[in-house]
């Protein structure tokens, strides 16, 4: 199996091809010999014939499916063996405009031909334009840019701690929810209330201090956590919640729960943080997931679909949270560079010009009805259907089949899906998916379910 072009950049720098060096040196002359002494040129992707080379040089931090992606077009991906798959993963809710979108491709190409990076030592017009669009279409006053969702959440955590420090709190506590997911960096992982992700990363059995947890959508346990966070010399810095838990099993937030969170933050001078990394940028049918909950957070974070697949993250803040950081308090070398922001602006423009939110709502209802019908038809395999917009999940309740196995069966039918939580099959297609393509996705999913019934 060939390795895809997207994987090439990771593997190439690690692979030795010493046979190429003498030829290169002979053709380039003696003056270059000293310059390139010891360097080995990278292999061409066509020479990466087996997965063995990939496995031997790339750290095994992922459970990968045996597919090598060669190209993409719209809502489809093509593998090196010539097979075509309907993509309802979209890079895990990232490729909002699908693959090879002309507007995104042009924006990135044009920016590369101008200037792609200059650091935040200088003014970046693309960054200012994207920040304005994000603030104009939310309750935020200012944006901080970074490279990923985890980094955006790290920025939010640091902002909440600094804000608490400014109020004289020396033991700040941030409350998050059980089954949450906020990223893989150490503080974001500590906020992630899933012990399976903490194993082996603690110190004397503890993760980063200053985090407590409650049950998602459970007001009583939230209030209990706030009592703990304001006792014994501690102070409540923030309540940090996903408006819809993605990795936790596609569980939408409850309005009453979020209203109480807002009230508790206001009472204690703390910040309400919404992690919009997966639910934001139109995924749920509104631009931001918290719009479904009738609350305005002090901070919300974005990434994934923000750049349509080009790495970018953002922390959006309002009020005091927007002015808590000063020069030198936080930074990112790549954050908000011209290339990433050009991609973000292309996504923003496309969403506005093509009424993407209308499509998300229409296709979301279509997907919901289709999954509910399949759950009724195959009650021994499928259970609860939940989610919002084009972030939907269906429980796999079969005794002898896991959600992962059902995803594998769908792959055999030419449909790409991804599990969520321990027993949920997740649908997160590109936001541009058509009615016909979604009908085909449901047809292929039924074939997978039928094979397991």
CA separation for the pair 6, 75 (Å, rounded): 18
Q: Are residues 153 and 45 in the same domain?
A: no
Question: Is 269 inside any structural domain?
Answer: yes
Question: Is 168 inside any structural domain?
Answer: yes
What pLDDT shows up at residue 190?
Answer: 97
CATH number at residue 116: 3.40.640.10
pLDDT > 60? residue 22? no
Residue spans of alpha helices (H) in 19-124: 20-28, 30-36, 51-57, 90-93, 102-112
Domain count, the chain: 3
Q: Are residues 230 and 275 in the same domain?
A: yes
Confidence of residue 51 (pLDDT cuts 50, 70, 90): low
pLDDT > 90? residue 273? yes
135: left (phi > 0), else alpha (psi -120 to 50), else beta? alpha
What pLDDT shows up at residue 282?
Answer: 98
Of the candidates 373, 305, 268, the residue with the CA atom closest to the CA atom of residue 152: 305
Question: Is 73 inside any structural domain?
Answer: no
Q: Are residues 216 and 160 in the same domain?
A: yes
Q: Which residue has the higher pLDDT, 299 or 6?
A: 299
- pLDDT above 90: percentage of residues in the chain: 84
Q: Are residues 232 and 247 in the same domain?
A: yes
What pLDDT shows up at residue 49?
Answer: 54
- pLDDT above 70: percentage of residues in the chain: 91
Question: What are the structure tokens assigned to 298, written together?
Answer: 């002090």
> Which residues lie closer than 8 Å to 144 by C-beta, 6 or more apart?
155, 314, 315, 317, 325, 330, 335
Confidence of residue 169 (pLDDT cuts 50, 70, 90): very high
Please state at what angle helix 338-353 crosses helix 356-377, rounded to 10 degrees.
80
pLDDT > 50? residue 416? yes
Range of the domain at 30: 5-64
Confidence of residue 48 (pLDDT cuts 50, 70, 90): low
CA separation for the pair 93, 433 (Å, rounded): 13
Q: Are residues 328 and 304 in the same domain?
A: yes
Q: Are residues 251 and 394 in the same domain?
A: no
Handedness of CA 402, 404, 407, 412 (dihedral sign): negative
Q: Are residues 443 and 349 in the same domain?
A: no
Q: Are residues 216 and 325 in the same domain?
A: yes
Confidence of residue 38 (pLDDT cuts 50, 70, 90): confident
Q: Are residues 189 and 311 in the same domain?
A: yes
Looking at 335, 353, 371, which one is the last position of a domain? 353
pLDDT > 80? residue 189? yes
> Which residues lie closer than 8 Å to 56 by C-beta, 6 or more apart?
none
Q: Are residues 336 and 432 in the same domain?
A: no
Mean pLDDT is lowest, of 53-62, 126-135, 300-309, for: 53-62
Evaluate whether 276 touches 300 at the Cβ level (below 8 Å): yes
274, containing H or E segment: strand 271-275
Q: Are residues 330 and 369 in the same domain?
A: no
Looking at 353, 388, 423, which one is the last position of a domain? 353
Q: Are residues 415 and 282 in the same domain?
A: no
pTM > 0.85 = yes
Question: What are the structure tokens assigned to 90, written together?
Answer: 């979209």
CATH number at residue 378: 3.90.1150.10
Looking at 353, 380, 415, which one is the last position of a domain? 353
């Amino acid at each position: 199996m060939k390795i895809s072009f997207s994987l090439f950049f990771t593997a190439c720098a690690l692979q030795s091809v010493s046979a190429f060096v003498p030829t290169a040196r002979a053709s380039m002359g003696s003056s270059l010999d000293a310059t390139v002494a010891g360097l080995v040129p990278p292999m061409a992707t066509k020479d990466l014939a087996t997965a063995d080379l990939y496995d031997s040089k790339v750290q095994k931090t992922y459970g990968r499916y045996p597919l090598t992606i060669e190209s993409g077009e719209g809502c489809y991906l093509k593998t090196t063996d010539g097979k075509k798959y309907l993509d309802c993963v979209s890079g895990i809710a990232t490729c909002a405009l699908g693959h090879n979108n002309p507007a995104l491709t042009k924006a990135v190409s044009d920016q590369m031909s101008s200037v792609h990076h200059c650091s935040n030592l200088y003014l970046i017009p693309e960054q200012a334009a994207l920040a304005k669009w994000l603030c104009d279409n939310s309750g935020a006053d200012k944006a901080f840019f970074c490279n990923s969702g985890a980094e955006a959440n790290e920025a939010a955590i640091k902002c909440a701690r600094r804000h608490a420090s400014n109020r004289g709190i020396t033991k700040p506590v941030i409350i998050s929810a059980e089954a949450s997911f906020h990223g893989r960096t150490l503080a974001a992982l500590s906020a992630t209330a899933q012990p399976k992700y903490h194993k082996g990363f603690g110190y004397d059995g503890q993760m980063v201090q200053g985090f407590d947890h409650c049950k998602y959508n459970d007001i009583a346990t939230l209030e209990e956590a706030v009592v703990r966070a304001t006792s014994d010399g501690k102070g409540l810095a923030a309540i940090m919640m996903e408006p819809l838990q993605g990795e936790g099993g596609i569980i939408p937030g409850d309005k009453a729960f979020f209203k109480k969170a807002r009230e508790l933050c206001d009472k204690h001078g703390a910040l309400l943080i919404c992690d919009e990394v997966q639910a934001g940028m139109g995924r749920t049918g509104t631009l931001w997931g918290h719009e479904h909950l009738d609350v305005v957070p002090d901070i919300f974070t974005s990434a994934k679909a923000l750049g349509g697949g080009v790495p970018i993250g953002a922390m959006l803040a309002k009020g005091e949270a927007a002015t808590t950081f000063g020069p030198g308090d936080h930074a990112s070398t790549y954050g908000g560079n011209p290339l990433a922001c050009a991609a973000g602006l292309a996504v923003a423009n496309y969403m506005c010009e093509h009424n993407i939110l209308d499509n998300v709502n229409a296709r979301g209802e279509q997907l919901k009805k289709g999954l509910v019908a399949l759950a009724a038809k195959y009650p021994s395999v499928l259970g609860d259907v939940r989610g919002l917009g084009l972030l939907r999940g269906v429980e796999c309740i079969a005794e002898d089949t896991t959600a992962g196995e059902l995803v594998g069966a769908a792959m055999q039918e030419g449909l790409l899906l991804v599990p969520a939580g321990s027993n949920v099959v997740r649908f997160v297609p590109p936001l541009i998916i058509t009615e016909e393509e979604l009908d085909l996705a449901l047809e292929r999913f039924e074939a997978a379910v039928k094979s397991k019934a």
